[in-house]
Structure 1
């Protein structure tokens, strides 16, 4: 690979930053939103259309891909980029979060996690070393270290025990990752809502040394106030000169608040999942196209949006195809939602670069507060 992995901050506005994560597969403009391509596809979207929305990078899922079709198979077929027809950067999560959600199907030890597949019940053993091997076989550009993420709320003892295990696994992930020029390994800060544990985790990760740092263990049911409470200090516990990635976040107002607090990268299933359930995410908040109020409405979803759903179709049509269970309904609303998210990220980047983030955020909240247009 001719180009190495690097991160350059081009502008700051308060604690927010905008810049470029450079990889051999292309540049990622930050703050960045990564659409989730769990099983080597962003559901209801063609890869080239995902790119048209403005996405620079996708997220793939280690757990789902190791179960089906299998990491070795993807490797033999030329790697994940070729397999899914996406030639730009891919980040893969480590599989830890998915495995942890299988409470009834797993056994956790110092070594790793033994679990049964939710697909066919076959047994797997996922360790930091195996997670690194799977992600190498997939060929992902940004690899996440293997960690444990306890569900909140949990008591301090449980959170501390989990964080300490994650730090031991982080070292093993680093050792197993080895020296791979052009590829990046991110460490994951844990510690729940406990500031002292987060600080200890950040110090342990920096001692090991990573190419970027994720803030893990949030967006697991703690609520926005608690999450922002952690983000008031957590990003500053991590290196200034490395990308910071808030895992699994989030709603548009979560992202805006996190960008204000110094976060650079995000991923969430919300825009694609909402699109499949008839919910559009717009500048004016969420709009449920399944509601009867839209059935005779000839107006677009958002007259200022340039996505295909808003440019070419009425609310009445979007309502109809969702009620009828037509696949185009999921396609159009997913495209719209991803377009809106990427438009929001571009707006944040431009505002930070211009030193006008406060005004942008005020306008963002004022527009959302207006709510959807009145029914006909």
Structure 2
């Protein structure tokens, strides 16, 4: 897979990452792995038998530059724990975590502080805004911690405030804003330092459904502009499918499948993943490339509907249907009462599912 920026070098690389909670976790993990011959499932069970909690088990994955990588799972699956390990808010019990090639497990506290201030951005479910500060002051605060002068940090704050759709609210206080607006402030604050890598832990889950969908749309637009390397945590399959380039699904601390939205929907590896996507409108997420067959090149016909390999199945079906003339609709008395365009049927079905 090639990154959004054209580079194949991972922005984030995790190899055999463990996070075990309990006394002497590091030494007990080493003992469990050694006595289990490297079998992660057996090692995890040995740890549980000793009263420890293997919250993340032997996780390995890469996030490419510019990729939006979603980690999802049920409560307690380990998804929030692993993002805290990557950002080093928690020190991983075992394994290797690299940010653009640098091993964070071996980084000093001073280096980690530097990385969080200049390279890593974080947004969490709870906004954590300073109530006595205006929007501009909240957004500029990380730049103040970097030592930037007031003129420069205010200028940057105003840029990202406009980017997240809050122009005109620069002097408002958090108490004067809605939940969706406060979350936008949190997003703007994390973007103020222009981080290369962005961590978002269920940033929209506390919001009403309508506001949540609006913020998802705005988030997609922001990412299309900035092309950050993102790890996004959610428990919502619809949200994951809407925003992700790739999705990792976790269960009981283990990653059970990594794939594109199309792969997750059409080719779930087990019943657990299948259960997540059972109510998903597959035609809205699967792409034409996933079902097309090889064929010899041919000239385009006059009525060719113009299908593309990246179109959803739903959009492709609507394009094909639009080639057909309106169809008569008959009343109970056998008389024609109107016509319906097949494309309108497809559009109405899509609107109903939405």
TM over 0.5: no
TM-score by length of 2: 0.36
Of the two, which has the highest radius of gyration? 2
